[in-house]
Amino acid sequence: YLIKGLDFFYVYFLLKYSAFFFPNLLILVFHRNLGKSGLRVSCLGLGELVLKAGGIFISMAENLMTIAYENGVNLFDTAEVYASGRAEITLGNIIKKKGWRRSSFVITTKIYWGGQAETERGLSRKHIIEGLRGSLSRLQLDYVDIVFANRNDVNSPMEEIVRAMTFVINQGMAMYWGTSRWSAMEIMEAYSVARQFNLIPPVCEQAEYHYFQRDKVEVQLPELYHKIGVGAMTWSPLACGLITGKYSDGVPECSRAAMKGYQWLKERVNSEEGRRQLAKIKELHLLADRLGCTAAQLAIAWCLRSEGVSSVLLGVSNTDQLLENLGILSQMTPQTITEIDALLGNKPHSKKESRA
């Protein structure tokens, strides 16, 4: 069920009494502005969805996108590097097959790792323009809504990056541009360059955010949101599956940590810090049970409560996971937030709080 165009009091009434009047109501996806831009994006988006597009998950990807789209999700994120471009091809094929109105959804892609040649990676003007043209060709689209610089490039001057992003927007290849894995200082530099030369500044930063990765999204990005309007689009709300509890009894053979290329995740799970996190996750599961939701729903609701977070990108591989993550989330009251903070013991403190 998707709520659109309803007045505030009706929405409030439905939320307050939905459990009583609609016991089978499962899905409720809201939309927010992306930072302080006018672009409306669903508070939940699909990311990593077609990262697995090179294998048996292609048919599943279409099912997941269909379920998400029909239940209010309008944001789909990919990158030129995912599955060496096959992810964009799969995403484009699905969109073309479904025949959805282009104006009804938001597509984002990321530019940095495009190929093996020296000129096929980084954020030079050449690669930003050629890389985005390649992405559009694979996606079978005339434009993407947001093109992200997928980490900063120390070999490319900031003015060149901002000018290239402004160019692709002015050429109609993208509507907005954003950053991914950039520091607050780098984002501020890009904004300053844009203002100095009358160019287009970034509107969003993609950042990792979950119970155990908090400082950037909770301390640095809210300041940028208020000062220059940059919003946050966060990823990995379940910490690569750690928060679901799947690693509580070791690393299952079918899990991501057991896959080739994810040795770092397996080492993280088996580390001393990983064991401490797993112990806290068990307590968080008890809290979720008490609140009447799943641990995944609680974790996603916790991410959405943070100031400046426009959307949380979900990484799912089957419909059960997607429906669970899209399900109505528990009410994130101040009391619940305080309880989670006390349990985690890692709440970051801003400079203002320190001075106070």
pLDDT tens-place string over residues 218-248: 999 999 999 999 999 999 999 988 898 876 7
H or E element, residue 140: none
**Cα separation, 211 vs 348, whole angstroms:** 11
User: Quick check: helix, strand or coil at residue 218?
Assistant: helix
Catalytic positions: 82
pLDDT the model gives residue 240? 83
Q: List alpha helices for 47-199, DSSP H.
A: 58-70, 86-98, 125-139, 158-170, 184-196
Q: Under 8 Å CB-to-CB from 15, ≥6 apart: which residues?
A: 28
The predicted pLDDT at position 58 comes to 75
Specify the residue for token string 């844009």: 194
Q: Which residue from 277, 240, 237, 268 is spatially nearest to 255, judged by alpha carbons?
A: 240
Residues of the chain falling short of pLDDT 50: 1-26, 51, 53-56, 353-356
Instruction: Please report the pLDDT score of residue 60 as a whole number.
Output: 86
Helix runs in 5-146, H state only: 8-21, 58-70, 86-98, 125-139
Helix (H, G, I), strand (E, B) or coil at 207: strand
Cα radius of gyration (the chain): 20
CA distance 288 to 298: 6
Q: Give 91's contacts (C-beta < 8 A, 6+ positions apart).
A: 49, 50, 53, 61, 65, 76, 78, 107, 139
Q: What is the DSSP string of 253-299?
A: TTSGGGSTT-HHHHHHHHSHHHHHHHHHHHHHHHHHHHHTS-HHHHH
